[in-house]
Amino acid sequence: MLRCSTFLEVRLPHIAHNIDLIRTHYASKATLIPMIKGNAYGNGLERVAGYIHDACRVNHFGVASLGEAVAVLKGNAHSIDTGRTNHVVVFSDTELMDESVHHVYAEQNAKYRAGNGAQLAPVLGTEEQLQLFCKLRRTIFKDTPLCLKINTGMDRLGVTLERLKELTPLLRENGGVDLLLQHFSVSGLVGHSFTKAQHIKFQQAKESLQAAGVEVRGTSAANSGAIEQRLAVEEMYVRPGLMLYGPTSLAASSITPDEVPKYRLWDGKCCGYFYTKVLHHYVAKAGSYIGYGITHNLVPEDAVIVLIPVGYADGFMRYYSNMPVTVSPAPPRGHEDDPAVKESALVGVVHGNVNMDIAAVAVHPAMVGHSVEEIMRRIENESQILVWGNDVAEKAAAVKSIPYQLMCGLSIRVPRRYVE
Ligand SMILES: *Cc1c(COP(=O)(O)O)cnc(C)c1O
């Protein structure tokens, strides 16, 4: 799609940096299953998968849906979908109850067995799925690994410990478990007792299976929040998502200052930088209304309005009203965090209604400490501005959202531009 001035710049080496950081300082014994679902958290599914395979020697890929898995394989037919080393794990929407897609697993895993394709692993999340899988264990699913989710407290998918006892004979008869996993629900809160309880339950599940003679060949428990706390990183696999792309998962409010060194607060590099431009800027007089509507779009005092060519068709949502946006020209690449850059940044707030194609950013003299004339001078039509980058978490917090949602929200109208 031809779009020159509005794009998401994806700095791929920053993902490589983050993977390195996890491997060396956070989970040195574990194998990574980087989570690339949700279009790699908005950064581009196929391209990110191919990059981390080639540049970071990643061989495991975590997605949410079967469709995402197929896209990863199709998009990387000559790198990921070859040989015996690569594995794509489908964590939630496996489509397993739909017989018409069973052949996708059967054919892909027959290829894997023959040594010329990646393995495709569905995570069984309900008892019905497990029963169906085992019924077809010797036929359609004979080459497909048995991956089972344990419910340790999240209470969405997964088998409870009580039910696991009942299911033990079935698992034993079907050759054991290739991957046993669980998911933490509050790992963003440092040291939370609920997380500890989940971790203990997971250990109990593993031990009870092993004690009953069920082979457990792989285990995985940690997502980003847990990895940042170095929790459950001794399991065979860890599943980092958000941290791969930069932001921390730990709620600052849950860490006391003396705990900071202990957790060595995640200092990953942000990979996604959302740029647009100043379409037009002008002085709006007090009492005028900007754009659609006739209530909350009132300009109370003279202000400078900066129009940017992004709206909800780009995934820049209506509720982003009041989000702070820096409207002075974007700093040179790599200088986003320079103190001088931050000092001189002119920050406005999204004003009134975001519409499909345009949002208005108001720069209020009282907020920035400059006259309307000075603000007008510091903004240039057609100049590049950075909507969000390594400050994506602050942007999200300002509109009561989370970085995941802002990142995943960017639509296909925003081209992804890759920096290798
Ligand atoms: C999304 C997901 C993750 C990654 O979570 P983050 O909080 O982004 O690290 C890990 N495991 C599963 C099963 C997931 O669905």
Q: Which atom of ligand 1 is nearest to the CA of 240?
A: 9
What is the pLDDT, as a whole number, of residue 367? 96
CA 143–ligand 1 middle distance (angstroms):
26
Q: Are 204 and 161 in contact (CB under 8 A)?
A: yes
Whole-structure pTM value: 0.96
Question: pLDDT (tens digit, 9 = 90+) per residue, 111-158?
Answer: 999 999 999 999 999 999 999 999 999 999 999 999 999 999 999 999
For each of the domains in the chain, give its residue range(s) and CATH number, in order of start: 12-254 (3.20.20.10), 272-418 (2.40.37.10)
Give the chain's residues under pLDDT 50: none
Q: Which atom of ligand 1 is nearest to the CA of 37?
A: 1
What is the pLDDT, as a whole number, of residue 308? 98
Ligand 1 pocket residue status of 240, Cβ below 6 Å:
yes
Ligand 1 pocket residue status of 304, Cβ below 6 Å:
no
Count the neighbouring beta carbons within 10 Å of the beta carbon of residue 325.
Answer: 26
Does residue 57 have a known ligand-binding role? no
Q: Which of 35, 242, 245 to probe ligand 1 with, by most ligand atoms within 8 A of CB?
A: 35
Ligand 1 pocket residue status of 149, Cβ below 6 Å:
no
What is the pLDDT, as a whole number, of residue 262? 75
CA 240–ligand 1 middle distance (angstroms):
6
Closest CA to 41 of 18, 74, 20: 18
Closest CA to 90 of 142, 145, 30: 145
Ligand 1 pocket residue status of 241, Cβ below 6 Å:
yes
What is the pLDDT, as a whole number, of residue 1? 67
CA 227–ligand 1 middle distance (angstroms):
11
Helix, strand, coil percentages in the chain from 3-state DSSP, rounded to 5: 35, 20, 45
Closest CA to 22 of 246, 196, 258, 259: 246
Q: Are 372 and 304 in contact (CB under 8 A)?
A: yes
CA of residue 331 relative to chain centroid, distance = 25
Q: Which atom of ligand 1 is nearest to the CA of 91?
A: 13
